[in-house]
């Protein structure tokens, strides 16, 4: 398999994985509906930067520590599970939701930080990069260069996907800003975050 064929195969596989519903999609959609497009894009950017960080770690071998060390994996896993549970409980708390369309400029970086931490505190993302990317590196190719290139492709796909999600919510922004609807959305999303946190806490280190 040539480098070009490997990149095409990786792009197709990564696109399918990116569009698969999960925690990242739930975070961006909830933020777009309840708060607005810009905060949602900031959250998406945080997720993308988190993915790129994991890719960098995998490229230079540090990500293998998460895959090989039970202690490192469990440490990040527990921190990630606690953070997801905290986010979920905040959404379930009455009156915790910002007014749709109103974003405190002082809190602008908070949405980016939420996306970033949600990704960085999930050791399964690191394991994914360490185990998934090497399958698309052809013999004789520069491992670091290929890993960084595929990481960039994955990050770009994520950014495009989140932009599409946010754009899809805008025509329905008035309907989606309904207080009762968003309150139920917060309950559902908060429950999902807690469920993801529990699932992460119970996850075993891949062998």
Write the Ramachandran bin of 36: left for phi over 0, alpha for psi from -120 to 50, otherwise beta. Answer: left
- Which residues, other chains included, contact 77 with Cβ-Cβ below 8 Å and sequence gap of 6+? 123, 200, 201, 203
Write the Ramachandran bin of 102: left for phi over 0, alpha for psi from -120 to 50, otherwise beta. Answer: beta
Task: Give pLDDT, residue 17.
Answer: 82
Residue 45 in contact with residue 115, Cβ under 8 Å? yes
Integer Cα distance of 130 and 65 in angstroms: 10
Task: Give pLDDT, residue 103.
Answer: 47
Other CB atoms closer than 10 Å to residue 20's CB: what's the count? 9
Integer Cα distance of 70 and 195 in angstroms: 23
| Residue at token pair 């994985």 | 17
Task: Give pLDDT, residue 133.
Answer: 81
Residue 153 in contact with residue 11, Cβ under 8 Å? yes
Task: Give pLDDT, residue 44.
Answer: 93
pTM of the model: 0.74
Write the Ramachandran bin of 184: left for phi over 0, alpha for psi from -120 to 50, otherwise beta. Answer: alpha
Integer Cα distance of 161 and 150 in angstroms: 16
| Residue at token pair 């992460």 | 200
Integer Cα distance of 200 and 164 in angstroms: 27
Residue 23 in contact with residue 193, Cβ under 8 Å? yes
Average pLDDT per block of 10 residues along the chain, 207 residues long: 87 87 83 84 93 86 66 74 79 57 54 89 79 81 88 93 88 62 72 78 67
Task: Give pLDDT, residue 86.
Answer: 78
Nearest to 38 by CA among 179, 173, 186, 192: 173
| 4 CB-side CA count, 13 A | 0
């Amino acid at each position: 398999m040539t480098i070009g064929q490997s990149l095409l195969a990786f792009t197709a596989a990564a696109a399918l994985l990116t569009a698969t519903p999960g925690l990242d999609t739930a975070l961006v959609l909830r933020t777009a509906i309840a708060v607005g497009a810009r905060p949602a894009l900031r959250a998406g950017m945080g997720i993308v930067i988190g993915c790129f960080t994991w890719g960098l770690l995998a490229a230079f071998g540090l990500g293998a520590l998460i895959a090989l060390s039970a202690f490192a994996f469990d440490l990040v896993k527990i921190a990630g599970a606690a953070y997801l549970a905290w986010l979920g409980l905040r959404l379930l708390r009455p009156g915790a939701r910002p007014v749709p369309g109103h974003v405190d400029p002082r809190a602008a970086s908070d949405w980016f930080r939420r996306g970033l931490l949600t990704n960085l505190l999930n050791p399964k993302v690191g394991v994914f990069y360490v185990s998934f990317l090497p399958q698309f590196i052809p013999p004789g190719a520069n491992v670091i260069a290929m890993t960084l290139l595929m990481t960039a492709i994955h990050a770009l796909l994520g950014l495009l996907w989140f932009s599409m999600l946010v754009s899809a919510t805008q025509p329905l922004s008035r309907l989606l800003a309904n207080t009762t609807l968003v309150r139920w959305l917060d309950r559902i999303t908060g429950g999902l975050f807690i469920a993801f946190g529990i699932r992460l806490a119970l996850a075993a280190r891949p062998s």
